[in-house]
C-alpha cells in the first residue's frame, strides 16, 4: 500500500495536495516493521507484552528491555526505533515526577498519556525536528482503575481495551477481539498475551524472539513490574502448547 509522495514528502512541515503529511506516515512505517507489542486491560489491571526479535545469538536474554517503568504505577512498551523510544520514556518519566512534585499525587494515566502525546506531536511541527519513529503502549493504574493508552508517531493518543502495534498487529488485534477482557484477571491475561505473541510470530521471516511481559494490577500492588518469572514460564509453556495444537490441525 505504499504511495509515492514525490516532492511532498521531504519535510514534515509540508502537506500533500490530498491533505497528508507523508513524513508522519513514513515514521509510522518504522513502527510497523518492528516486533509486535500487545497491551490489554483486564478486570484488575493492565498487561503489556513484547515480541523482542533477537538480532544476534550473542545478546544476553533479559537485556535490551522494551518495556520501561515510567513511575511506580505505570509502564510503557515501545515499538519502532529503540533510540527514539528511549527519548519518549525519559520524557514520560520526567513528566511523571514533575507532576508528583507539583501536585503531590501520582500522575493520572490519562494526564500522562496526554503529555506524552503532546511531546510526540511537538516533533511533527517543525522542519528542524523529525518525528519519532516509534509507537508507545502505556499502561497504568490510578484511582480511576487500570487504563491502557497508545500513542502513535503522529501524536494521536487513544484509550483502549486492547491494542497492538508492530509487525503482527493485525493478527494480534483479531485475537484480542476474541477475548472477554472484562471478565479476565491479569493472571489469565498474561497467558493470553503470551499465546497471542507466540501465535503472530512469523517463524519464516524472523528467527528467534524473546517474550518480555509486564503488568500493573491488584496482584502486583498496583505497581508496574516485570511479570514474575514463574508466571512468565507458565505463560510461555501454555503458548507453545497452543501453537503445537494449531500445527497439529
Residue 179 and residue 150: Cα distance in Å, rounded? 19
Q: Do the Cβ atoms of 76 and 70 come closer than 8 Å?
A: yes
Q: Does 11 engage in binding with other proteins (CB under 8 A)?
A: no
Query: Which residue in 36, 97, 124, 185 is the catalytic one?
Result: 36
Closer to other proteins at the Cβ: 77 or 179? 77
Closer to other proteins at the Cβ: 68 or 167? 68
Give me the sheet containing 74-80, strands edge to edge. Answer: 67-71, 74-80, 134-142, 145-151, 157-160
Interface pattern 89-128 for other proteins (x via CB under 8 A): ----x---x---x---------------------------
Closest approach, Cβ 50 to other proteins, in A, equals 14
The one segment of 35-43, 44-52, 65-73, 152-160 that binds other proteins by CB under 8 A: 65-73
Q: Does 159 engage in binding with other proteins (CB under 8 A)?
A: no
- Strands 162-165, 157-160: parallel, antiparallel or unpaired by DSSP? unpaired
- Is 13 among the catalytic positions? no
State the cell numbers at 101: 512534585
The one segment of 5-13, 112-120, 166-174, 223-231 that binds other proteins by CB under 8 A: 223-231
Q: Does 72 engage in binding with other proteins (CB under 8 A)?
A: yes
- Which residue do the cell numbers 510526540 mark? 120
Closer to other proteins at the Cβ: 96 or 113? 96
Give the catalytic positions in this structure: 36
Q: Site residues (CB under 8 A) for other proteins?
A: 68-72, 93, 97, 101, 214, 223-226
Amino acid at each position: 500500500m505504499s504511495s509515492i509522495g514525490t516532492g511532498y514528502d521531504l519535510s514534515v512541515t509540508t502537506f500533500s495536495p490530498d491533505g497528508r503529511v507523508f513524513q508522519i506516515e513514513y515514521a509510522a512505517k518504522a513502527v510497523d516493521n518492528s516486533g509486535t507489542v500487545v497491551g490489554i486491560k483486564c478486570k484488575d489491571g493492565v498487561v503489556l507484552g513484547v515480541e523482542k526479535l533477537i538480532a544476534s545469538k550473542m545478546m544476553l536474554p533479559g537485556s535490551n528491555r522494551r518495556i520501561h517503568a515510567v513511575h511506580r504505577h505505570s509502564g510503557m512498551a515501545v515499538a519502532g526505533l529503540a533510540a527514539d523510544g528511549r527519548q519518549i520514556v525519559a520524557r514520560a518519566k520526567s513528566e511523571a515526577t514533575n507532576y508528583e512534585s507539583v501536585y503531590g499525587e501520582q500522575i493520572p494515566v490519562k494526564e500522562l498519556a496526554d503529555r506524552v502525546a503532546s511531546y510526540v506531536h511537538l516533533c511533527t511541527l517543525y522542519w528542524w525536528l523529525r518525528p519519532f519513529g516509534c509507537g508507545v503502549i502505556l499502561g497504568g493504574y490510578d484511582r480511576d482503575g487500570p487504563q491502557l493508552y497508545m500513542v502513535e508517531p503522529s501524536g494521536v493518543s487513544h484509550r483502549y481495551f486492547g491494542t497492538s502495534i508492530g509487525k503482527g498487529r493485525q493478527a494480534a488485534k483479531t485475537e484480542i477481539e476474541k477475548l472477554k477482557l472484562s471478565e479476565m484477571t491479569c493472571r489469565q491475561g498474561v497467558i493470553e498475551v503470551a499465546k497471542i505473541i507466540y501465535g503472530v510470530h512469523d517463524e519464516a521471516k524472523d528467527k528467534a524472539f524473546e517474550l518480555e511481559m509486564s503488568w500493573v494490577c491488584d496482584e502486583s500492588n498496583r505497581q508496574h513490574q516485570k511479570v514474575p518469572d514463574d508466571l512468565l514460564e507458565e505463560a510461555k509453556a501454555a503458548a507453545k502448547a497452543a501453537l503445537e495444537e494449531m500445527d497439529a490441525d
